[in-house]
Amino acid sequence: MELVRIQRENFSINAEVELVKAASRGIGGVVVFLGAARDFSKGETITGLDFEHYPGMAEARLNDIRERALKNFNIIEIGIVHRVGKIAIGEDIVLITAASAHRNDAFMACEWAITELKRTTPIWKRETTKGGDVWVSETP
């Protein structure tokens, strides 16, 4: 299984953690960020989400984020999984799993990676509300 991927189907948090931990027996800390579909945003009730991406470009950006995290933070491994397509309220959307010898490095890398993902990756979110569909402009 790839450490970085975009997929329609849900993922197993445990399987993703084990995939990252398989990189080294020197891992002492694993930090996970899990983004889930919530039912309220910007004063509106949300009944569903739909994510679209720029194929090829989005995967390249996620791989770049992984490579930069490995280079710029004292971590051993990092995995990034993002779902696309229709996602029901309560379902998981994105998972970042950062592993290092010590927890602080993994926390810093994980926070940086999700912030960078939202800032630069061409993945777009459409929220379904009572008033219709609304595109959320948090990403390029």
- Domains annotated for the chain, with CATH where assigned, are 4-136 (3.90.1170.40)
State residue 70 phi and psi, 5-degree precision: -65, -35
State residue 83 phi and psi, 5-degree precision: -90, 155
Question: Quick one: pLDDT at residue 131?
Answer: 83
Question: Which has the closest alpha carbon to 58: 126, 138, 120, 115?
Answer: 120
Report field, pTM of the whole predicted structure over 0.85: yes
3-class state of residue 131 by DSSP: coil
Percent of the chain at pLDDT > 90 equals 89
82-114: pLDDT as tens digits: 999 999 999 999 999 999 999 999 999 999 999
